[in-house]
Amino acid sequence: MFLPPPSTHPAGEVSFPDKKPLCKAIKVDTFGGKVQIEWDGSAAFTPLGQLPYFIEFLKLGGRFEPWVADCPLHYTSNNAPKRVNVLGSLLLSVLSGHNRYAHLTALRGDTANTRLLGMDKIVSDSSAINALKRMDETAAIDWLQTHLHQCYEPLLAYPWILDVDVTVKPLYGHQEGAKLGYNPHKPGRPSHTYHSYLMANTRLVLEVDVQAGNQSASSYSMPGLVALLQRLPQASRPAFVRGDCDWGNDAIMTELEGLKQPYLFKVKRTKGVKQLIAKVHGQGKWQRFDDGWEVRESVLSLHNWKQSRRAVVIRRRLQGDPVLALSQKAGGQQEIAFVDGPEDMRLYEYSVLVTSLPDNLIALMQHYRDRADCENVFDEIKNQWGWGGFVTRQLQTSQIMARMGALIYNWWNLFTRLAIPEKHHEAITSRPLLLSSIGRLTRSGRQQQMTITSTHAEQGKIRAAYERIQGFFQGLKLTATQLTIPEIWQQIVLKCVEHFLNPSGKKQLLSQPTLS
């Protein structure tokens, strides 16, 4: 038996590791007192804390999942991003008010809503652009047109008005289709033109077509309008088509008459139109309405028109001292343009509408005045929903993103109408009110909980709106198992626009004339 040799050094005190506090918080001394700071890198946060309500709206209505499933985007590589990640990232970007693909990087920190949308991550801007380029353009347009149609299809059972107009999108690079054309705000700047078709009063976009900047005339919009009308059943077509003076020409009206589609357009003040105004100026039978406005019916027949058409002459007495209005002829000679008859010689401002509708004059005048809301839609969707951005060198990506932005805009528009039915809120007010807040998503077993912190001054209004939404959704879920997805979406859409519909359930126009 061998014993270990004795140690030459005596054993010292036993050393124990330093005790660590149970809480890892760091105390920081501030002017408001000491604060304990703790880092938590595993929690899921989002700056769009109220988005789960909108996600439920999309899920219950069957909007998001079929939209992703039908997307004509196909990859062969195992390392390619998932389709839901690409479309979900673009959805969150448009909802956040972005107008550049590079802004997608600002969403990288949102790990809560990505999880609720069934996503793994936010894709990069290059992945999003490459995905749009990878799609077949014809298939992608058909895909988005189908989902746009499904969005507003329940409203086609009611009489509605179709607004047609063109808006200009200035460009600052070397994009395909960047041409010099009509650009009133930035003359000389190349642009794209967005030929748009809207459902009046509801502010829903039916279709949009992106064309070169020098193709802003109504003749370039007409093929898209005809294609849209032909996709609709005869019973679902609009009560009439409404447009500005660029649409009041014989070729457009003849084609619509061939389709048996009523219309209401303004006409340019050409020589023949001025002669009509001079003819009816001194005649009677003017109907007065709305503080200084007068209207009179007539017939307009221009030399290049194939037939005469019903005309509505509108005039308004100008304020101030009466003066003579002079217009310049091509040869430099001046002539009197619009003056009153020899009785008082007071000056009026004139406009002429042409229509195939049998409505009374006051209703026709009010219908055309309501068209001003169309410009508000353009202002909102260009400046707040990305139509003014999301540009690449290829026109294909602009075609796809314009329709995708319109679809997401329609979804949010209906959702805000569901929350606050009596008034339309543009994104500049609806995003802070119904979307922007700090949300923290936590998990405990199989349960998930979202804690929302809002700093909005109208928190009571927000809670009341969401309580109303949840009450409607709870009632709808009780019968959802007995309904198909289109039937569920129909009930949701009709609830969103019930403010426009007759409470008695009687079919009526979504835009009714209101007399002062």
Structure tokens at 400: 């796809």
Burial class (CB in 10 A: 0-12, 13-18, 19+), 305: middle
pLDDT score of 405:
95
Alpha-carbon distance of 205 to 151, in angstroms, equals 10
From 239, 340, 232, 323, select the one nearest 280 (Cα to Cα).
340
Per-residue pLDDT at 66: 96
Residue that has been written with the tokens 């202002």 in this structure: 379
Task: Encode burial over 193-208: b for 16+ CB neighbours within 10 A, e otherwise.
Answer: bbbbbbbbbbbbbbbb
With CA atoms as reference, report the closest residue to 112 among 64, 63, 53, 48. Answer: 48
d(CA 483, CA 493): 15
Structure-token pair, residue 162 = 């179709």
Confidence at residue 505, expressed as pLDDT on a 0 to 100 scale: 44
Handedness of CA 429, 430, 431, 434 (dihedral sign): positive
CB-CB contact of 151 with 163 (8 Å) = no
Which DSSP symbol is given to 106? G
Amino acid 516 reads S
Pick from 48, 44, 43, 45: which is nearest to 437 by CA? 48
Domain ranges for the chain: 265-355, 429-483
Residues of the chain scoring pLDDT < 50: 321-327, 336-345, 503-509, 512-516
Q: Which of 356, 371, 269 is nearest to 311 (CA)?
A: 356
> What's CA 128's distance to the chain center, in Å?
21
Q: Is 14 helix (H, G, I), strand (E, B) or coil?
A: coil
Sheet containing 447-453: order of strands: 44-46, 438-444, 447-453
Q: What is the 3-state secondary structure (H, E, C) of 434-454?
A: HCCEEEEEEEECCEEEEEEEC
Q: What is the pLDDT of residues 72-122, one digit of tens each?
A: 999 988 889 999 999 999 999 999 999 999 999 999 888 889 999 999 999
Tokens representing residue 197 in the block: 């078709």
Cβ-Cβ contacts under 8 Å for 421 (sequence gap 6 or more): 496, 498, 499
In the block, which residue shows the tokens 């054993």?
11
Contact assessment for residue 393 and residue 171, using Cβ atoms and an 8 Å cutoff: no
**Spatial separation of the C-alpha atoms in residues 436 and 428, rounded to whole Å:** 11
User: CA 426 to CA 379: how far, in whole Å?
Assistant: 10
- The pLDDT score that the predictor gives to residue 225 is 96
Whole-angstrom Cα distance, residue 232 to residue 224?
A: 13
Q: pTM (2 decimals)?
A: 0.86
pLDDT at site 485: 92
Helix (H, G, I), strand (E, B) or coil at 503: coil
Q: Say if residue 218 is exposed, middle or buried (CB neighbours under 10 Å; 0-12, 13-18, 19+).
A: buried
CA distance 58 to 65: 8
Neighbours of 481 (CB within 10 A): 6
Q: How far apart are CA 82 and CA 64, in angstroms?
A: 15
**Residue with tokens 């448009």, as numbered in its chain:** 94
The residue behind tokens 């005469």 is 308
CA distance from start to end of the chain = 119
